[in-house]
Amino acid sequence: MKLAIYPGTFDPVTYGHLDILQRAGRLFDEVLVAVAANKSKEPLFSVEERLTLLEPHLKAIPNAKVARLEGLTVDFAKKCGAVALIRGLRAVSDFEYEFQMAQMNRHLDDSIETIFLMPSHKFFYTSSHMVKQVCLVDSSRLTQFVPPNVLKALKKKFAKK
């Protein structure tokens, strides 16, 4: 059984993330969405909230599960028995960062491959950061970028600020 890890912050999860997850689900027997704390990004949602926001969308991808990512991604992948890490590439601007990360992960454990997947063209410029910025001004324009449960959670978060 081939297991892949799809690591990320997912703050919040977008349709672009879910598109990559669906693609990975067709390639691997199982895909584990690993949600990282990543305090350096100053997430809007806690890890628990992000896990909760992701869970309903896994019903459409029966071979996908979600978990909290602890420690280094390659160590987590090894512990889970994964053979690959899934990374999404939206635009050329993502490539340099993703390439460096893939090389570091290969250096740390060359038994884990990094697989780059591109989302549908509809999501090339969608990012969690941009979604949060748009939400601050006009949340009604986000319906094409995030699922309804995520939009509701974003509105609630920003209403508190």
Q: Where are the domains of the chain?
A: 3-124
* Superfamily of 3-124 according to CATH: HUPs (3.40.50.620)
* Band of pLDDT at residue 41, cut at 50, 70 and 90: confident
pLDDT at 92 over 80: no
Confidence class for position 93, pLDDT limits 50, 70, 90: confident
Residue 100, pLDDT score = 93
Share of the chain above pLDDT 70, in %: 99
Regarding predicted confidence, which is higher, 15 or 95?
Answer: 15
Q: How far apart are CA 43 and CA 27, in angstroms?
A: 30
pLDDT at 161: 62
Is a pLDDT exceeding 80 seen at residue 147? yes
Q: What mean pLDDT is predicted for residues 67-83?
A: 96
Distance, in Å, from the CA atom of 147 to the CA atom of 15, rounded to the nearest integer, reads 7
How wide is the angle at C-alpha 56 spanned by C-alphas 67 and 19, nearest 5°?
80
Active site (catalytic) residues:
17, 41, 90, 128
Distances (CA, A) of 13 to 2, 65, 76, 82, 149: 24, 14, 21, 22, 10
Q: What is this structure's pTM?
A: 0.94
- Average confidence score pLDDT of the chain: 93
Mean pLDDT value of segment 62-86: 96
User: How far apart are the C-alpha atoms of 16 and 106, rounded to whole Å?
Assistant: 25
At residue 117, does pLDDT exceed 70?
yes
Check pLDDT > 90 for residue 39: no
pLDDT at 154: 96
